[in-house]
Chain A
Amino acid sequence: MTESLVRVRNLKIGATVYPPGGKPHDVEIVHGVDFDVRQGQVLGLIGESGAGKSTIGLATLAYGRGGVKIIDGEVWVNGRNILSTDLSDIRKLRGGEVTYVSQSAAASFNPAKQIMEQVIETSVQHGIYSKSQAESRAIDLFHQLSLPSPDTIGKRYPHQVSGGQLQRCMTALALCPEPNLVVFDEPTTALDVTTQIDVLAAIKRAINEIGVAALYITHDLAVVAQVADDIMVLKMGEMIEHGTTDQIINSPKEEYTRALVSVRSIDHPEKHPKGSPVLTCSNITARYRGTTFDVLHNVSLEIYPSQTLAVVGESGSGKSTLARTITGLLPPRDGKIMFDQRELSPDLPSRTLEDLREIQMIYQMADVAMNPRQTVGTIIGRPIEFYFQLRGKEKRQRVIELLDEIEMGKEFIGRYPAELSGGQKQRVCIARALAAKPKLIICDEVTSALDPLVADGILKLLLNLQSLENVAYLFITHDLATVKAIADSIVVMFEGKVQRYGRKSKVLSPPFDDYTDLLLSSVPEMRLGWLENVLATRKMESAGN
Chain B
Amino acid sequence: MLTRIPAATILGFVFSTLFFLLAIFAPLVAPYGYDEVVSTGFWEPATSDFLLGTDNIGRDLLSRMIYGLQTTIWIATLATILSFTTGSILGFLAAVMGGWIDQALSRFIDLMMSIPSLIFALVILSIMPITITILIVVMGLLDATRVYRLARAVAVDINVMDYVEAAKLRGERWRWIIFREILPNSLSPLVAEMGLRFIFAVLFISTLSFLGLGIQPPQADLGGLVKENAEGLTYGIGAALYPAATIAVLAISVNLVADWILSRTSSLKGGRG
> Nearest Cβ in chain B — how far from A419, in angstroms?
16
Measured between alpha carbons, how far is A510 from B240 in the docked complex, in Å?
92
Does B21 lie at the interface of the complex (its beta carbon under 8 Å from any beta carbon of A)? no
A386, B171: Cβ atoms under 8 Å?
yes
Measured between alpha carbons, how far is A301 from B181 in the docked complex, in Å?
34
A369, B163: Cβ atoms under 8 Å?
yes
A363: B residues at CB distance < 8 A: 162, 166
A368, B171: Cβ atoms under 8 Å?
no
The digit string for B163-189, where 1 denotes a CB below 8 A from any CB of A, is 101101111100000001100110000
- Name A24's closest neighbour in chain B (CB-CB): B1
B171: A residues at CB distance < 8 A: 351, 353, 356-357, 386
Of A329, A360, A372, the residue contacting B185 (CB under 8 A) is A372
Measured between alpha carbons, how far is A329 from B162 in the docked complex, in Å?
12
B185, A373: Cβ atoms under 8 Å?
yes
A368, B163: Cβ atoms under 8 Å?
yes
- Name A367's closest neighbour in chain B (CB-CB): B162
> Nearest Cβ in chain B — how far from A356, in angstroms?
4
A356, B170: Cβ atoms under 8 Å?
yes
Does B248 lie at the interface of the complex (its beta carbon under 8 Å from any beta carbon of A)? no
A361, B184: Cβ atoms under 8 Å?
no
Measured between alpha carbons, how far is A432 from B170 in the docked complex, in Å?
10
A368, B170: Cβ atoms under 8 Å?
no
- Name B187's closest neighbour in chain A (CB-CB): A373
Given A371-B185, A373-B185: A382 touches B163 (CB 8 Å cut-off): no
Does A98 lie at the interface of the complex (its beta carbon under 8 Å from any beta carbon of B)? no
Does B161 lie at the interface of the complex (its beta carbon under 8 Å from any beta carbon of A)? yes
A357: B residues at CB distance < 8 A: 171
B169, A348: Cβ atoms under 8 Å?
yes
Per the CB 8 Å criterion, the residue count for chain B at the interface is 15
Measured between alpha carbons, how far is A361 from B165 in the docked complex, in Å?
10
- State the majority secondary structure of interface residues on B: helix
Does A54 lie at the interface of the complex (its beta carbon under 8 Å from any beta carbon of B)? no
A309: B residues at CB distance < 8 A: none
A328: B residues at CB distance < 8 A: 169
A356, B185: Cβ atoms under 8 Å?
no
> Nearest Cβ in chain A — how far from B184, in angstroms?
4
> Nearest Cβ in chain A — how far from B144, in angstroms?
25
Does A313 lie at the interface of the complex (its beta carbon under 8 Å from any beta carbon of B)? no
> Nearest Cβ in chain A — how far from B176, in angstroms?
8
Point out which of B162, B165, B184 has the most chain A C-beta atoms below 10 A from its C-beta: B162
Task: Kindly state the interface size class of chain A when it binds its partner.
Answer: 20 to 34
- Name A352's closest neighbour in chain B (CB-CB): B171
- Name B2's closest neighbour in chain A (CB-CB): A23
B162, A373: Cβ atoms under 8 Å?
no
Of B161, B170, B185, the residue contacting A383 (CB under 8 A) is B170
A368, B169: Cβ atoms under 8 Å?
no
Of B168, B169, B170, B181, the residue contacting A371 (CB under 8 A) is B181
B184: A residues at CB distance < 8 A: 371, 373-374
Point out which of A351, A356, A370, A371 has the most chain B C-beta atoms below 10 A from its C-beta: A371
Does A390 lie at the interface of the complex (its beta carbon under 8 Å from any beta carbon of B)? no
B163: A residues at CB distance < 8 A: 368-371
Given A368-B161, A371-B185: A327 touches B169 (CB 8 Å cut-off): yes
> Nearest Cβ in chain B — how far from A363, in angstroms?
5
Among A368-391, those with CB < 8 Å from B are: 368-374, 382-383, 386
Point out which of B3, B171, B172 has the most chain A C-beta atoms below 10 A from its C-beta: B171
Of A23, A365, A374, A383, the residue contacting B162 (CB under 8 A) is A365
> Nearest Cβ in chain A — how far from B211, in angstroms?
44
Given A373-B184, A373-B185: A368 touches B168 (CB 8 Å cut-off): no
A361, B168: Cβ atoms under 8 Å?
no
A356, B169: Cβ atoms under 8 Å?
yes
Measured between alpha carbons, how far is A107 from B193 in the docked complex, in Å?
32
A432: B residues at CB distance < 8 A: 166
Measured between alpha carbons, how far is A436 from B170 in the docked complex, in Å?
9
A361: B residues at CB distance < 8 A: 166, 169
A329, B165: Cβ atoms under 8 Å?
yes
Measured between alpha carbons, how far is A308 from B54 in the docked complex, in Å?
86
B170: A residues at CB distance < 8 A: 356, 382-383, 386, 436
> Nearest Cβ in chain B — how far from A199, in angstroms?
29
A382: B residues at CB distance < 8 A: 170
- Name A355's closest neighbour in chain B (CB-CB): B171
- Name B4's closest neighbour in chain A (CB-CB): A24
B162, A369: Cβ atoms under 8 Å?
yes
- Name B183's closest neighbour in chain A (CB-CB): A373
Given A368-B161, A371-B181, A371-B185: A348 touches B168 (CB 8 Å cut-off): yes
- Name B168's closest neighbour in chain A (CB-CB): A348
B172: A residues at CB distance < 8 A: 386
Among A338-372, those with CB < 8 Å from B are: 348, 351, 353, 356-357, 360-361, 363, 365, 368-372
A386: B residues at CB distance < 8 A: 170-172
Measured between alpha carbons, how far is A363 from B162 in the docked complex, in Å?
7
B binding-site residues for A, Cβ under 8 Å: 3, 161-163, 165-166, 168-172, 180-181, 184-185
* A351-B171, A371-B163, A374-B184 given; 8 more Cβ-contact pairs under 8 Å: A356-B170, A356-B171, A361-B169, A363-B166, A368-B161, A370-B163, A371-B185, A373-B185
Sampled A-B contacts (23; CB under 8 Å)? A328-B169, A329-B169, A348-B168, A348-B169, A351-B171, A353-B171, A356-B171, A357-B171, A360-B169, A361-B166, A361-B169, A363-B166, A365-B162, A368-B162, A371-B163, A371-B181, A371-B185, A372-B185, A382-B170, A383-B170, A386-B172, A432-B166, A436-B170
Q: Which 10 A-B pairs have the closest CB atoms?
A: A373-B184, A369-B162, A356-B171, A371-B163, A363-B162, A368-B162, A368-B161, A353-B171, A370-B163, A369-B163
